Amino acid sequence: MDNTLNILPGQDEIRTITQKRLRRKCEFCGEEAHYKHTWLLKGTRSNPASKAYRRDDCSWCEDSCTFTCRKCKNKARPPEGYVDCSIFPASETFSHIFLFWVTIEK
């Protein structure tokens, strides 16, 4: 139990990971998303299961979301048990919402 190693196998190895930033796709047709629709559970501010529970401003809260393209924007409907919250456009201000990182295998 007292026999320990000064250097462990794999210690000080270097690993390089390459990632690419991609844009989210429309959940209806697969084109690039231009809108993010956010949904809240029914009873939002009084529902302990909702992210908007006991909040005054719930415009930034979401319990679920849907991404759509320009053509499919009007197809987005809240899932069963949810209500409308906010719509965010793919603009410079909200660009981070539409992008995500994917690790590229070498």
**Tens digit of pLDDT for each residue in 47-64?**
777 777 877 777 788 899
Asked whether the beta carbons of 58 and 45 are under 8 A apart, the reply is: yes
Q: Mean pLDDT lowest for which of 1-10, 11-20, 39-48?
A: 39-48
Q: Is residue 9 part of a domain?
A: no
- Owning domain of residue 23: 18-104
Of 70, 53, 74, 71, the closest CA to residue 62 belongs to 53
Q: Is residue 96 part of a domain?
A: yes
Q: Is residue 12 part of a domain?
A: no
Is the pLDDT at 46 greater than 70, yes or no? no
Which amino acid, residue 52? Answer: A
Q: How many domains does the chain have?
A: 1
Q: Is residue 77 part of a domain?
A: yes
Q: Is residue 3 part of a domain?
A: no
Q: Is residue 98 part of a domain?
A: yes
pLDDT given at position 101 = 97
- The pTM for the full model equals 0.79
Q: Is residue 8 part of a domain?
A: no
Of 98, 85, 81, 78, the closest CA to residue 42 belongs to 81
Q: Is residue 13 part of a domain?
A: no
